[in-house]
Structure 1
Amino acid sequence: MTWAKPTTLSVVVNTCNRAASLDKTIRSLFQQAASNIEIVVVNGPSTDGTEDVLAKYLGQVKILRCADFNLSISRNIGIAAATGDVVAFIDDDAFPEPFWAQRLLDAYNSEEVGAVGSHVFDQTGMDYQATNIICDRYGSAWPKEMHDPSDLYSFPQAFKFSALIGTNSSFRRDLLLATGGFDEEYEYFLDETDVCVRIIDAGYKVVQIDHALVHHKFLPSHMRNARKATVHHYPILKNTLYFALRYASPQVGVDAALQHGENVYQAHLRDAKWFVEHGELPPEKLSALPGVYARARNDALERYQRPPRYLTADLLRTHAAEFLPSNRNSVMAADPLCVVLLCRQYDAVDSGIARFIGVQARSLAALGHTVHVLTLVQSDARIDWEDGVWVHRLTAGWYDDQPATLPFRVHPSQWCYSRAMLDEVRRINVRHKVDVIEAPIWDNEAIAFVCSGEFPVVVSLQTSLGIALESHPEWRDDKAHMEGFVLPALQAENYILSNCDSIRGISRAIVDEISSRNKITMPGENIEICNLALEDRASNAVRAARQSLEVFFLGRLELRKGIDVLLDAIPAVLNRVPHARFNLAGDDKILAPNSTETFRQIFVRKHPDLMDRVTFLGKLSDAEVDAQFRSASLFVAPSRFESFGLIYVEAMMFGVPCIGCNTGGIPEVVSESDCGLLVEPEDAPGLANAISDLLKDAQRRRTLGQAGRRAYDQRFSPAVICSQLIDVYRRATHKHAALAAHLVH
Structure 2
Amino acid sequence: MHVLVVHNRYSSAQPSGENRVVDEEVGLLRAAGHRVDVFERRSDDIAARSLLGKVAVPLLVPWNPPVRAELTARLRDERPDVVHVHNVFPLLSPAVLAACADAGVPVVATLHNYTQVCPPGTLRRDGRLCTECVGTKLALPAVRHGCYRESRAATVPLAVSMSLNRRRWWTGVERFFCISAAQRDILVRSGMPPERLAVKHNFVPDPGSCRTGPGEHLLFLGRLAEAKGVRLLMAAWDEIAAGGGVGVPLVLAGAGPLAEEVTAWAAGRDDVRYVGLYDPAQCREAVARSVAVVAPSMALETFGLVVAEAMAAGVPAVAAGHGAFVELVEAGVSGLLHLPGDAASLASCLRQLAGDPGRNREMGRAARRRYEQGFSPEVGLERLVEGYRTAIAGRSGGAVGAPPVGNKGAGSRRVTRAGGDGGSR
Q: Does the 8 A contact of 2:211 with 2:314 survive in 1?
A: no
Shift of 1:489: 2.1
Q: Which amino acid aligns with 1:630?
A: A
Q: Secondary structure at the match of 2:336?
A: strand
The residue number in structure 1 matching 2:35 is 370
Shift of 1:696: 0.9
The residue number in structure 1 matching 2:63 is 415
Q: Which amino acid aligns with 2:235?
A: D
1-structure distance, mates of 2:6, 2:376:
22
Indicate whether 1:562 and 2:221 are aligned: no
Q: Which amino acid aligns with 1:621?
A: D
Q: Which amino acid aligns with 2:219?
A: F
Q: Secondary structure at the match of 1:343?
A: strand
Runs ≥4 residues deviating over 6 A: none
Q: Secondary structure at the match of 1:344?
A: strand
Q: Does the 8 A contact of 2:86 with 2:111 survive in 1?
A: yes
Query: 1:486 aligned to 145, 153, 158, which one?
Result: 158
The residue number in structure 1 matching 2:141 is none
User: 690-699 or 348-357, which moves further after superposition?
Assistant: 348-357
2-structure distance, mates of 1:357, 1:424:
19
Query: 1:630 aligned to 288, 306, 320, which one?
Result: 288
Unaligned runs of 5+ in 1: 1-336, 381-394, 400-409, 592-596
Q: Does the 8 A contact of 1:425 with 1:434 survive in 2?
A: no
The residue number in structure 1 matching 2:181 is 508
% identical aligned pairs: 26
1-structure distance, mates of 2:381, 2:69:
24
Q: Does the 8 A contact of 2:146 with 2:152 survive in 1?
A: no
The residue number in structure 2 matching 1:443 is 89
2-structure distance, mates of 1:496, 1:350:
30
Relative distance call for 1:569 and 1:414 in structure 2 (3 A) is same
Of structures 1 and 2, the larger Rg is shown by 1
Shift of 1:420: 2.5
Query: 2:105 aligned to 455, 469, 487, which one?
Result: 455
Report the TM-score when normalising by structure 1. Answer: 0.45
1-structure distance, mates of 2:89, 2:219:
32
Q: Which amino acid aligns with 2:109?
A: V
Q: Secondary structure at the match of 1:671?
A: coil
Relative distance call for 1:682 and 1:347 in structure 2 (3 A) is closer
Query: 1:600 aligned to 248, 259, 262, which one?
Result: 262
The residue number in structure 2 matching 1:434 is 80
1-structure distance, mates of 2:229, 2:350:
15
Shift of 1:557: 1.1
Which aligned pairs between 1:276-355 and structure 2 lie closer than 5 A? 337-345=1-9, 348=12, 350-355=15-20
The residue number in structure 1 matching 2:253 is 585
Shift of 1:681: 1.1
Q: Does the 8 A contact of 1:648 with 1:658 survive in 2?
A: yes
Q: Which amino acid aligns with 1:551?
A: L
Q: Secondary structure at the match of 2:396?
A: helix
Q: Which amino acid aligns with 1:506?
A: I
Q: Secondary structure at the match of 1:590?
A: coil
Q: Which amino acid aligns with 2:7?
A: C
Q: Does the 8 A contact of 1:657 with 1:701 survive in 2?
A: yes
Shift of 1:734: 1.3
2-structure distance, mates of 1:673, 1:412:
48
Shift of 1:340: 1.4
The superposition leaves residues 14-72 of structure 1 with CA deviations (integer Å, 9 ceiling, x where unpaired) of: xxxxxxxxxxxxxxxxxxxxxxxxxxxxxxxxxxxxxxxxxxxxxxxxxxxxxxxxxxx
The residue number in structure 1 matching 2:193 is 523
Unaligned runs of 5+ in 2: 127-144, 401-425
The superposition leaves residues 526-575 of structure 1 with CA deviations (integer Å, 9 ceiling, x where unpaired) of: 111111111112x2x374666x7410110111111111111101122233
| RMSD of Structure 2 on Structure 1 (CA) | 3.1
Indicate whether 1:358 and 2:23 are aligned: yes
2-structure distance, mates of 1:721, 1:415:
32
Relative distance call for 1:544 and 1:464 in structure 2 (3 A) is same
Report the TM-score when normalising by structure 2. Answer: 0.76
Q: Secondary structure at the match of 1:535?
A: coil
Q: Secondary structure at the match of 2:293?
A: strand
Q: Does the 8 A contact of 1:659 with 1:677 survive in 2?
A: yes
Q: Does the 8 A contact of 2:125 with 2:147 survive in 1?
A: no
2-structure distance, mates of 1:347, 1:632:
29
Aligned length: 360
1-structure distance, mates of 2:93, 2:82:
12
Q: Does the 8 A contact of 1:343 with 1:375 survive in 2?
A: yes
Query: 1:613 aligned to 246, 271, 287, which one?
Result: 271
Shift of 1:662: 1.3
Relative distance call for 1:584 and 1:604 in structure 2 (3 A) is closer
Q: Secondary structure at the match of 1:616?
A: strand
Q: Secondary structure at the match of 1:677?
A: strand
Relative distance call for 1:535 and 1:557 in structure 2 (3 A) is same
Which aligned pairs between 1:384-423 and structure 2 lie closer than 5 A? 411-413=59-61, 415-416=63-64, 419-420=66-67, 423=70
Relative distance call for 1:342 and 1:422 in structure 2 (3 A) is farther
Shift of 1:426: 3.5
Query: 2:338 aligned to 672, 679, 682, which one?
Result: 679
The residue number in structure 2 matching 1:98 is none
1-structure distance, mates of 2:378, 2:154:
43
Q: Secondary structure at the match of 1:358?
A: helix
Q: Secondary structure at the match of 2:315?
A: coil
Q: Secondary structure at the match of 1:709?
A: helix
2-structure distance, mates of 1:449, 1:650:
32
Relative distance call for 1:646 and 1:478 in structure 2 (3 A) is closer
2-structure distance, mates of 1:488, 1:673:
44
Indicate whether 1:535 and 2:205 are aligned: yes
Query: 1:498 aligned to 167, 170, 175, which one?
Result: 170
Which aligned pairs between 1:226-265 and structure 2 lie closer than 5 A? none
Shift of 1:668: 1.3
Q: Which amino acid aligns with 1:339?
A: V
The residue number in structure 2 matching 1:178 is none
Relative distance call for 1:666 and 1:659 in structure 2 (3 A) is same
The residue number in structure 2 matching 1:738 is 397
Q: Does the 8 A contact of 1:461 with 1:505 survive in 2?
A: yes
1-structure distance, mates of 2:236, 2:114:
30
Q: Secondary structure at the match of 1:494?
A: helix
